[in-house]
Chain A
């Protein structure tokens, strides 16, 4: 079971770039790296997913080094509405869902 380690909390000012790093030293060859965002009183929302190198979408970028033992979620120019808990998950695809572990996540607070 590839567990993850990420900071419990982070603070950032509006307009700054935020980078949240996740460690997953025991990642397996067929594991994806997936990030979710959760607002209070809502279900988690998929943000981005990658396997290696860099992935970018309209919301965030995901940087994965060659050894895949860590990953960094990058949120460009955060706003107050980005205040949420961010979860890093590592695991195979849905067929191995029993190995998914959300952990405690990183609570990001964006300050005006």
Chain B
């Protein structure tokens, strides 16, 4: 298996633009997680899905952020409009039930908002 796939790996955009980050989880994994990592706040859980259904989005910073999982093999995290403070590395992770907290992380998308 190729592992969790994220695209793009790097994104540079201007303030006010819409940004869409993409994730393909490991096949067969029922859980999908979106995280954000910054120097100041560390690694934060934004939202997670179980069987394509959002379970908890309490970590989403504000209404500018939205996430979808239209099918078991694809998820998006959208920021609209983007702001400089959204600059961070965004990770997607997936996992399977019965494994405690063993999650498989993707390589991340480094987002820079100018």
Residues of A within 8 A of B (CB): 32, 34, 41-46, 49, 87, 89, 91, 93-95, 97-98, 100, 102-105
* A104:B50 contact, CB within 8 angstroms: no
Interface of A, secondary structure class, is mixed
Contact between B100 and A49 (Cβ–Cβ < 8 Å)? yes
- Cβ contact of B99, chosen from A87, A93, A103, A104, cutoff 8 A: A93
The answer to whether A46 touches B108, judged by C-beta atoms less than 8 angstroms apart, is no
CB A22 to nearest CB in B, in angstroms, measures 14
Q: Choose among A94, A95, A97, A104 the residue with the greatest number of B CB atoms under 10 Å from its CB.
A: A94
Contact A103:B95 (CB < 8 A) given known A91-B101, A97-B55: no
Q: List 21 A-B contacts (CB under 8 A).
A: A32-B101, A34-B100, A42-B107, A43-B4, A43-B91, A43-B105, A43-B108, A44-B91, A44-B103, A44-B105, A45-B105, A46-B103, A89-B101, A93-B98, A94-B103, A97-B48, A97-B55, A97-B101, A98-B58, A98-B59, A100-B45
Q: State whether B102 touches A34 (Cβ < 8 A).
A: yes
Most buried by A among B43, B101, B108: B101
CB of B56 closer than 8 Å to a CB of A: yes
In-complex Cβ contact of A93 among B44, B48, B91, B100 (8 A): B100
Give the chain A neighbours of B105 by CB distance below 8 A.
43-45
Near A by CB (< 8 A), chain B positions 40-68 give 42-45, 48, 50, 55-56, 58-59
